[in-house]
Structures are given as structure tokens and as C-alpha cells.
Amino acid sequence: MQVMIGVIGGSGVYQIEGLEEAAWTRVETPWGRPSDDLLVGRIAGVKVAFLPRHGRGHAHSPSSLPYRANIDALKRIGCTDVLAVSAVGSLQEGFAPGDFVLVDQYIDRTFAREKSFFGEGLVAHVGLADPTCARLGERVAEAARQSGVRLHEGATYLTMEGPQFSTRAESLLYRQWGADVIGMTGMPEAKLAREAELCYASLAMVTDYDCWHPGHDAVDVAAVIATLSANAAKARACVAALPARLGATRQACPCGCDSALTHALMTAPDRRDPDLLARLDAVAGRVL
């Protein structure tokens, strides 16, 4: 199998450099339109599909993002690995604004989003103990270090609903829970990537200290944008360095990401909803 990297660019990352033969491609999905068209090209001989998570011009809020359509579109176009780039607030003193964080765990506090491709008519339960791919994460870490960023490897990302930022009481509570960073888009994106049998890694850019830190002002959009502007080039450099690290040929994932559905389907074949089966042609075609 040939590697194809899907890059989901978050706030401040609306383009990537070095993409050869690049062309915007519209992908239709059974789950609606994705956030935007996909910019498809090659870097270091490896196919790459770039999707602006919020759409060009930042048209989608975290709660209204078409998460299922985004993941389906990446899978449908042929992606094997997905790198998600996002902006986050820090809940730990040592994770300073300007730092980068390789996320490996999540706490999902969202409540207004569709979180699964499956449901009535076809029930499935995938394992999510380790929601990111360790193999892909290692390659992302190498690319990040090559790009010269200050990187923290391993962190818990608390996903809040938004769109408002945290209250101070919430921020302090999340610190007590052991969360390291806070953002609004990490879930259900990681859950859906696992259901689609995609290897998924999350590289987060720290923009602020949320509102818990007594020595820093509470987060606001102006502070976030200022830090994003200073770090966007570094984020794009990390993305550009990843294809050479992964290589063009794909082996079976040692973490089992690409076989997550093998034992996940619960509904008997004769009780499965044909309409739902049709919508799952890309996401679950391997097992259906």
C-alpha cells in the first residue's frame, strides 16, 4: 500500500508549503460536505491531502465542524495516516506559549457533536485506550525536532465544547484532573479517525495559559492570533518534514489502527440497516 498523508490544519494553519502538483479537489461524502475542498499534491514523493479544519477564511466554529465528513473525505480520497494540527491553551506551567505538544491522550467534554459513524442499524465499538498512533507519533516527533521547535512528547488534551473559553473554575478543575492542554477540536476527530481505521497523530501549538495562571492575562483571541502568527511557519515546516520520515510505502500499523474494525461490529449481518451500510462504504468498506 502507498502512503497518503492527510493533514488537518487548525487555527492559523490554512496552507502548507512545498506541495508539488497541488490542486484543490472537491470530495463529496454521505455525511455532507467537509469543511472545505482538499488540497492534494506531493511532498518528497509522498501524496498529501491538506484539509483546512475550519475552512478557508475560518468559517466553521468548533461545534459546527463537519467532523464525520472531514474524516470520511480523507479516507475516501485514499489517506492512510492523518496528522492533525491545532491551537491549544496550556494547563501546565512547563508548557509555555510557543511550545509544541505531541498529544497522546484525550478527555472528551464535548456534548453537541456527532461522535460516531455507527449507531442504530449497525452498532460498533472500537478500542480507544490509546487514541493516537504511536508509530505515526514517533515520525511526527522526528519531523518536529528537525524543524527546531520546542516539543513536549506525550500530553493529555481536554476537549471542551466552546466556543467560549473556560471559566477560571473550570480551568483549575481541569488542572486537577491532570490535563495538560485544552482545546475545542480534538474530539470527536480522534474517535472518528479510529473508526475509519486511520492512523492519527495530533500536534498542538500552545498559544496561551488559558485563564488559570496568576502571572498571565486570561486568554483572548488577540493573544491567540499573535502566538499563532509567530508559530504558523514552524507548524508548516513540521508538516513538510513528515513525508520523508514516513516514506512512500505503507506497512501494516503495529498499533492496529488500520484493523480497528476487525472485531468491532456487533450487529448481526441480517439486522444491519442497508442505508447506513451504504454510507459506510469508505469508512468501513474493508470489513463490510
Residue 97 near residue 227, CB atoms below 8 Å:
yes
Match 502566538 to its residue by C-alpha cell.
Answer: 227
Rounded Cα distance, 75 and 8, in Å? 13
Catalytic annotation on 270? no
The catalytically annotated residue of 104, 210, 217, 273 is: 210
The CB-based long-range contact list for 37-43 (8 Å cut-off, 24+ gap) reads 38/73, 38/74, 38/77, 39/15, 40/77, 42/243, 43/18, 43/19, 43/240, 43/242, 43/243, 43/244
The catalytically annotated residue of 81, 104, 180, 208 is: 208
**How many beta carbons lie within 10 A of that of residue 106, not counting itself?**
23
Residue 198 near residue 136, CB atoms below 8 Å:
no
Catalytic annotation on 210? yes
Buried b (16+ CB within 10 A) or exposed e, 145-161: eebebebbeebbbbbbe
Strands (DSSP E) contained in the chain are: 4-9, 20-25, 38-43, 46-52, 81-90, 100-103, 105-108, 151-153, 156-159, 181-183, 199-208
What is the SS3 assignment for 114?
Answer: coil
Catalytic residues: 208, 210
